[in-house]
Amino acid sequence: MHVHFLDPYQDLRSPVHALDARVKLVLALVFILVVSLTPNGAWASLLLLFAVAVSAVLLAGLNVGYVLRRAGLALPFALAALPLVFTAPGARIELGATGISLSQIGIERLLSIFFKSYVSMQMAIVLASATSFPDLLQAMRAIRLPKLLVAIFGLMWRYLFVLVDEAMRLLRARDSRSGALDAARNVGGSISWRARSAGGMAGNLFMRSFERGDRIYDAMAARGYDGEVRSMRHPALSAQSLRVLVAGLVLLSVLFALPRLFA
């Protein structure tokens, strides 16, 4: 079976892969919710949540280093909280004679946001790596997410591959016309020429993807697509899946309550 290089799913044999997709989705969403609601600076609870995420990585048979590196993708987005270091109220730290002062509360909030984003991304990677996307879509429908939202997710995922495939065709066409860069011979012209070429390729990519998307939608409509993806009725959860779901929810409830009990 051909797997696109963008697809994060890894077909492995592990307890996490064998678990029902509905259970994995619910536990992952509750985990991310618990992480986001954990008070800033509750480092003991955050470290326990981090341990849970790493345990899920190990149970799924994934490469720990790979997951830890990929989870770093969330950190640049957390930089949006950087102004908190300067604007948050409370005790401040003076940086010598520079006249710049940092808020202690702001630093704590920023570090907490970084850590929460990092841990949440780890669990999202585990979910995507241990669950195929069609199973995820069925799980979304099973937990009664809005049908339109699920349809948008499904089409977005499929059309992402359309966009990448069109980009690969453009790159192959460029390479076949000796358009590849050669640093030794300085092939490719000036920076402005390269910028114009890249802009032209981006515009061409948009038009080709748009036209191909129209053809795909016409083909879907000709086969009866009316905006809703229908699937077979979902089977009932097995006893083992129910036990895992209950145990996971109990564990996450305890981790959610810990910082509030010892505040």
CA gyration radius for the chain?
Answer: 24
b/e sequence 20-40, b meaning 16+ C-beta within 10 Å? bbbbbbbbbebbbebbeebeb
Candidates 211, 262, 258; CA nearest to 51 is 258
Q: Give the angle subtended at the CA of 18 by the CAs of 16 and 22, to the nearest 5°.
A: 80
- pLDDT value at residue 169: 80
> Do the Cβ atoms of 197 and 228 come closer than 8 Å?
no
> Do the Cβ atoms of 140 and 37 come closer than 8 Å?
no
Q: Give the angle subtended at the CA of 32 by the CAs of 28 and 38, to the nearest 5°.
A: 140
pTM metric for this prediction? 0.78
Return per-residue pLDDT of the chain as tens, 263 residues.
Answer: 344 556 678 888 899 999 999 999 999 999 999 999 999 888 999 999 999 999 999 999 999 998 999 888 888 888 888 888 877 777 777 776 667 778 888 888 889 999 999 999 999 999 999 998 888 888 888 888 888 888 888 878 877 777 777 778 877 777 776 655 555 555 556 677 777 777 777 787 778 777 877 888 888 888 887 766 666 677 888 889 899 999 999 999 999 998 888 76
- pLDDT value at residue 1: 38
DSSP for 129-180 reads: HHS-HHHHHHHHHHTT--HHHHHHHHHHHHHHHHHHHHHHHHHHHHHHTT-S
- Domain ranges (residues) in the chain: 15-144+235-261, 147-222
**Burial label, 231 (beta-carbon count in 10 A; 0-12, 13-18, 19+):** exposed
Element spanning 93, H or E: strand 92-94
- pLDDT value at residue 156: 80
- pLDDT value at residue 218: 86
